Structure 1
Amino acid sequence: MSGFDNDILGDRRRALEDQFFADQDKKLLDKMRKEFHALEEKKKLTHVSGIVEEKVLGDLMSVGVRAETLAAVRLIPMIETAWSDGSITAEERREILKIAHENEMKIGTAAYDLLEKWLERRPLGQVFESWKEYVVELHKVMPRESFQKLRDQALERCRAVAGASGGFMGLGRISNAEADKIDEIVRALSGY
């Protein structure tokens, strides 16, 4: 092999090494960007929610809750109440959308899109469990009086949703399943 051939082979080897390390660097940079994005998202969520516990933040993020969707998270008790009978009636849907509108949740926002999704398909049980963890943390960081107002508001909304369709076959205002779900929400909002 001549010196010329060795130079060409050396050039090809360096080009191959450069490409290999460029690919590895790209993968590492992509990983860093994802980690940075997750950290930034966690900071935003902490900022808007006041929650600092890593597990709760991670749980919320793992079920798709972002700072922009936190407004929809506040609607989870109503969603759970509406789904407690196994389906959402047109009246319950209208009541939930009315409440969302009253809270200035705009069509086309991430929060509204998430709400629409939950109205069409019941969220996984993990969503409600994450909400309960969220409430425990929120209770720790909020002044008692403010938390009580949020609690009362959440329960008032749940009762409005439950009463929207009038219970089983129109008899009674709130069905047994809805009453049981509201009791579960009361326990969660009371810290037990």
Structure 2
Amino acid sequence: MTRLKNKSPEQRQIESDHFFAELEQQIVKQLREDASSPEGREELIRSTGIHDTELIDELGKLGVTADGLMALRLFPLVLVAWAEQNADASERDAVMTQAVRQGVREDSTAWVLLDQWLQKRPPGIGVDAWKRYTHEMFTEMSNVAQNRLIELTEKQMTSVAKASGGHLGFGKVSAKEKAIIHQIIESMKRQR
């Protein structure tokens, strides 16, 4: 008890931040282990109907479980947030706002994954997994539904890009963000 009294508020805050960062790392590690386990793989296959073994492997490496799959659907928003070399607080808030609109709850695996990807740039394997996932989704969707998903994704990415105000802070989309949005939309169109 006396050790706690002897610490400044800044020291206590640093220790608290460190504790929660370690806790989050443990949660993400456990998600990866669960997603990569034979049971986790089977649950993902059973709940999604995805039979692409490479995709299932990639999802496991990313820590995406069956209940975290919505995070992969929102992965393009994360890429836009990272377009300018860092995902700032307003972009992170914009991504999480879009996640909530899609039904992602704060206590869900999808939330934890999105939060992790917004704090630390996601690995390149995420792009490959997202492309494979999009292709799998599109095989089960009508052309109308595909077009609507592409339009929704573009609108969501643009809202994330505008959240930080572009490069000069005037509510614009920067050239890098525009390039990322264009690449993602073109990739989605090719997944059909």
Question: Normalised by the shorter chain, which TM-score bucket?
Answer: 0.7 to 0.9
Q: What TM-score results when the alignment is normalised by the length of structure 2?
A: 0.74
What amino acid sits opposite 1:84 in the alignment?
A: A
Q: Deviations over 1:111-167 (max 9, x none)?
A: 111111111111011111211121122222322222222222111100110111111
2-side partners of 1:148 and 1:40: how far apart? 34
Higher relative contact order (CA 8 A, sep 6+): 1
* Mapping 1:106-117, distance limit 5 Å: 106-117=105-116
Q: Is the 8 A contact 2:154 2:185 kept in 1?
A: yes
The share of aligned pairs that are identical, in percent, is 29
2-side partners of 1:50 and 1:76: how far apart? 20
1-side partners of 2:138 and 2:85: how far apart? 30
Which residue of structure 2 lines up, in the alignment, with residue 98 of structure 1?
A: 97
Which residue of structure 1 lines up, in the alignment, with residue 79 of structure 2?
A: 80
Q: Deviations over 1:146-189 (max 9, x none)?
A: 22222221111001101111111224611111111111101211
Q: Is the 8 A contact 1:96 1:161 kept in 2?
A: yes
Consecutive unaligned residues of structure 1, counting only runs of 5 or more, are 1-33
2-side partners of 1:167 and 1:135: how far apart? 27
Q: What TM-score results when the alignment is normalised by the length of structure 1?
A: 0.74
Q: Does 1:186 align with 2:185?
A: yes
Which residue of structure 2 lines up, in the alignment, with residue 42 of structure 1?
A: 41
- Count of residues in Structure 1 that have an aligned counterpart in Structure 2: 157
What amino acid sits opposite 1:180 in the alignment?
A: A
Q: 1:73, CA displacement in angstroms?
A: 1.0
> Aligned Cα RMSD in Å?
2.0
Q: Is the 8 A contact 1:51 1:141 kept in 2?
A: no
1-side partners of 2:61 and 2:70: how far apart? 17
* Mapping 1:131-170, distance limit 5 Å: 131-170=130-169
Structure 1 segments, 4+ long, off by >4 Å, are none
What amino acid sits opposite 2:70 in the alignment?
A: A
Q: Deviations over 1:30-50 (max 9, x none)?
A: xxxx9xx84442333234434
1-side partners of 2:158 and 2:47: how far apart? 26
2-side partners of 1:142 and 1:44: how far apart? 22
- Decide whether aligned partners of structure 1 residues 173 and 70 sit closer, same or farther in structure 2, where only a CA change above 3 A counts: same
- Decide whether aligned partners of structure 1 residues 150 and 45 sit closer, same or farther in structure 2, where only a CA change above 3 A counts: farther
Q: Deviations over 1:13-62 (max 9, x none)?
A: xxxxxxxxxxxxxxxxxxxxx9xx84442333234434222222222222
Which residue of structure 1 lines up, in the alignment, with residue 88 of structure 2?
A: 89
Q: 1:105, CA displacement in angstroms?
A: 1.4
Deviates more, 1:69-78 or 1:167-176: 167-176
Q: Is the 8 A contact 1:136 1:188 kept in 2?
A: no
1-side partners of 2:48 and 2:146: how far apart? 12
Larger Rg: 1
